[in-house]
Amino acid sequence: MSRPFTWIASAIFALMALVHAYRLLKPFEVTIGSCHLPMWLSGVAAVVTAGLSWMLCREARGTRGP
């Protein structure tokens, strides 16, 4: 069964994980309003978004874990 929206969501989360990983490798400032986001937040966000992407990919394929 094809799940195109699940694949699209998985790709978006994977792209977000790559952007956060890039920020860890090539540090740059991110400011929202007057709030500066710390670098460690990108580390957490990279792990979370990569995990979400992986889980959505598994769901789109219809596979289950152990």
pLDDT digits (tens, 9 = 90+) for 26-61: 999 999 999 999 999 999 999 999 999 999 999 888
- The pTM of this model reads 0.83
Collapsed DSSP state (helix, strand, coil) of residue 15 = helix
Please report which confidence band the pLDDT of residue 3 belongs to, taking 50, 70 and 90 as the band edges.
confident
Please state, in angstroms and as integers, the Cα–Cα distance from residue 52 to each residue in 34, 57, 62, following that order: 29, 8, 15
Residue ranges of the alpha helices (H) in the chain?
4-25, 39-61
Please report which confidence band the pLDDT of residue 64 belongs to, taking 50, 70 and 90 as the band edges.
low
Contact 61, 10 (CB under 8 A): no
Spatial distance between the Cα atoms of 64 and 6, rounded to a whole number of angstroms: 15
